[in-house]
Amino acid sequence: MTEASTLVRAARKSRRLTQEQLAELSNIDQGSVSRSERGRDADFSTIDRLLAGAGHRLYSAPTRRDDAATAVAEIRERLRGSDKDRALRALLQLNDNLVAEHGLVRGILGLAEPESTKDQAWDAAIAAFVAWRLGEEGIPLPTWVDERERFLAEPRTLEVDPADPVPPPSEVPPDFAKRGVLAWRDTFASV
């Protein structure tokens, strides 16, 4: 389930706003924006005003699965702690969450633009998952999945296990190959 802090931050960043700009648009002080993004001011009316200031609305979907923005928050923390194995598990959980839902709910899980993980290969992989899984159902893709920073100039792996061989192109899902992420297709099969 997405936390209010993740929603506010994702909404602000999707519009390329600073906290000060969002505060002005929402008619709320910048301190409240900061507290909301840190999860310290989760009053519904504040969150609603901040989302509206960024041009978004809050909707509810019948799911308890985490969306891409929430999954990325965990991936970013795992990468920051140099724990690529657990980052990969969080990435695989995002895949499972997307596969488990259908139609509009699947689309909602990929809608909010996640913050960067600070590793372009991981950012590209996240965009690839959302594009792949939404594309399976013909759901329109959110614009963030095709932004330039979601593509690698030189193809590479996620470098989770240096002993893993690089997959041949035939074993890389097309949305991953398009973004330059060399990952084995069978890595993403649910068990």
DSSP 137: T
Distance (Å) of CA 75 to CA 2, 27, 47, 55, 84: 14, 33, 24, 27, 8
Position of tokens 């969002």? 22
Q: If we measure between CA atoms, which residue out of 42, 68, 77, 70 comes closest to residue 131? A: 68
Q: What are the chain's domains? A: 4-53 (1.10.260.40), 68-188 (no CATH)
- pLDDT digits (tens), the chain, 191 positions: 457 787 788 778 877 889 999 889 988 888 888 888 887 766 778 888 888 888 877 666 678 888 898 899 999 999 999 999 999 999 999 999 999 999 988 998 898 889 899 999 999 999 999 999 999 999 999 999 999 999 999 999 999 988 889 999 999 999 999 999 999 999 887 65
Transcribe 23-39 into DSSP letters: HHHHTS-HHHHHHHHTT
